[in-house]
Amino acid sequence: MELLTDPQVWLAFVTLTALEIVLGIDNIIFITILVGRLPAKVRARARTIGLSLAMITRILLLLSLVWIMRLTEPLFAVLGNEISGRDLILIGGGLFLLAKSTSEIHGNLEGEEETRRGIAKATFGAMMIQIALIDIVFSFDSVITAVGMAQHVEVMIAAVVVAVLVMMFAAAPIGAFVERHPTVKMLALSFLILIGVALIADGLGLHIPKGYLYFAMAFSLGVEMLNIRARRRARPVHLHKRGPRG
């Protein structure tokens, strides 16, 4: 009851929830693109399960703060840079994102036949395993932010749950929009490559502020929205000039 009546706790909760949603953008993009390989009838269920796994992963990490702090202790050094368990996870996650995004871009550039082949190969269980693995990587930023923003584990967990619920409602329209616009999907895949490079750099001790990455993505997305609107306005004019045949 003391937490519910403390205005500082509520301020931390609202701020942390907003930050968790922002930090979850890359997770939504990855899950959206990954479930696009599955048959249309199971995509909604895959998104829900994927985001539920993300929520469970964050909560478990929050309840394992002592273990997380041990992960930051150096294990060995490479070229003068100390590498910890956390760094190894970030580097591994970054390499996985680079490989997966590059593979998806290749599939999209190869055309419809390659896309159908990729959908045929995709299995629900394999996708859930990939989502669960990348959720662990994405959860580190989320958990570290939560620890820095709030002092009570209850507040952190509540913020994570609310943020994931918001992400669940947003995932479906975001997924539908990405599927309707191939250029936006390519932009999202490029963004995931950027995130992968940032994770590897962070694991090697070269921290790139997420704000720069999100600004670059927001700017690129804004330009693409203008392009989509321009194409919609130009299409009727183009059809009118051609006129009916015969």
Both structure tokens of 212:
């720069």
Structural domain contains residue 20: yes
Number of C-beta neighbours around residue 81 at 10 A:
13
Highest mean pLDDT among 72-81, 157-166, 179-188: 157-166
Structural domain contains residue 36: yes
80 φψ region: left (φ > 0), alpha (ψ -120 to 50), beta (else): left
Structural domain contains residue 64: yes
pLDDT for position 122:
61
- Give the tens place of pLDDT for each residue, 28-79: 888 888 887 778 788 888 888 888 888 888 888 877 766 766 677 777 877 7
Structural domain contains residue 16: yes
Any idea which of 41-45, 69-73, 116-120, 224-228 has the lowest mean pLDDT? 116-120
Structural domain contains residue 1: no
pLDDT for position 42:
85
Both structure tokens of 66:
């002592």
Q: Residue 237 pLDDT more than 70?
A: no
Judged by DSSP in three states, 77 sits in strand
pTM: 0.70
Instruction: Count the domains in the chain.
Output: 1
Any idea which of 19-23, 65-69, 215-219 has the lowest mean pLDDT? 65-69
> CA 65 → CA 13, 21, 23, 115, distances in Å?
19, 21, 19, 41
Q: Residue 120 pLDDT more than 50?
A: no
Domain that holds residue 12: 7-72+81-242
Q: Residue 83 pLDDT more than 50?
A: yes
pLDDT for position 131:
82
Please list, residue by residue across 49-68, b when 16 or more beta carbons sit within 10 angstroms of its beta carbon and e when fewer do.
bbbebbbebbbebbeeeeeb
Structural domain contains residue 45: yes
Q: How confident is the model at residue 152 (pLDDT cuts 50, 70, 90)?
A: confident
- Give the tens place of pLDDT for each residue, 2-18: 656 667 777 777 887 88
Structural domain contains residue 33: yes
pLDDT for position 246:
47
The more confidently predicted of residues 236 and 106 is 106
Q: How far apart are CA 112 and CA 24, in angstroms?
A: 30
Three-point CA angle 129, 132, 133, nearest 5°:
85
pLDDT for position 231:
81
